[in-house]
Amino acid sequence: MDRTTNECDLKTALTAFETSLSTPIVSGELASWVGEVAKAWKTASATIHDCMTVVHPRQYEEMAEEDLELLPQIERLKAEDEAIERERERIGNMVERDAQHVPKLEPDEAKAQKHVQNLIDEGLAFVMRARKQEVALDTWLVEAFNRDRGTAD
């Protein structure tokens, strides 16, 4: 299983996106800031999509094969993957919209402040949600293989 490689890629991509969102916007550099956010998002979005649609389903199969009692938990994890995918698409639309429109407002950056702050807030919340899902999945995956199923006397 290539879990380690994908996990590192996801952590790296999420950190890069988070950093781009958290970077202060220097006066006159709004277009550059939005460009960096869009670039980081492109990588993060592709990596997240791969994890949710390729890596996680394989892990769910492994978990189910190892411990059928975890099926309800697997279903909850799958539902969260689906919700994250929907959120990923929504955040992508926000990034795309802001990348197109916010730089046009640069001479009067105050007009863009509401849109930029919304993108920062929603983007950071999304990063936290994706990280939380990875921690939950890792926890249940380990549980599937190391679970104490009682004594076999």
Quick check: 44 and 13 in contact, CB under 8 A? yes
pLDDT, residue 135, reads 94
Quick check: 122 and 91 in contact, CB under 8 A? yes
Give the whole-angstrom CA distance, residue 63 versus residue 74: 8
Please indicate, yes or no, if residue 149 is contained in any of the structural domains: no
- The CATH number of the domain holding residue 35 is 1.20.120
pLDDT, residue 7, reads 55
Domain count, the chain: 1
Please indicate, yes or no, if residue 150 is contained in any of the structural domains: no
Q: What is the pTM of this model?
A: 0.87
Torsion sign over Cα 19, 45, 121, 94: positive
Please provide the distance, in angstroms rounded to a whole number, between the alpha carbons at the two ends of the chain: 33
Cα distances (Å, whole numbers) of residue 56 to 3, 36, 39: 9, 28, 25
pLDDT, residue 149, reads 58
pLDDT (tens, 9 = 90+) of the chain, 153 residues, equals 344 445 558 999 999 999 999 999 988 889 899 999 999 999 999 999 999 999 999 999 999 999 999 999 999 999 999 999 999 999 999 999 999 988 777 677 788 888 899 999 999 999 999 999 999 999 999 998 887 655 554
Give the whole-angstrom CA distance, residue 7 versus residue 15: 12
Amino acid at 113: Q
User: What six digits make up the tokens of 82?
Assistant: 């689906």
Please indicate, yes or no, if residue 79 is contained in any of the structural domains: yes
Please indicate, yes or no, if residue 153 is contained in any of the structural domains: no
- Residues ≥6 apart with Cβ < 8 Å to 42: none
Please indicate, yes or no, if residue 152 is contained in any of the structural domains: no
Its domain, for residue 96, covers: 3-144
Please indicate, yes or no, if residue 71 is contained in any of the structural domains: yes
Give the whole-angstrom CA distance, residue 62 versus residue 71: 11
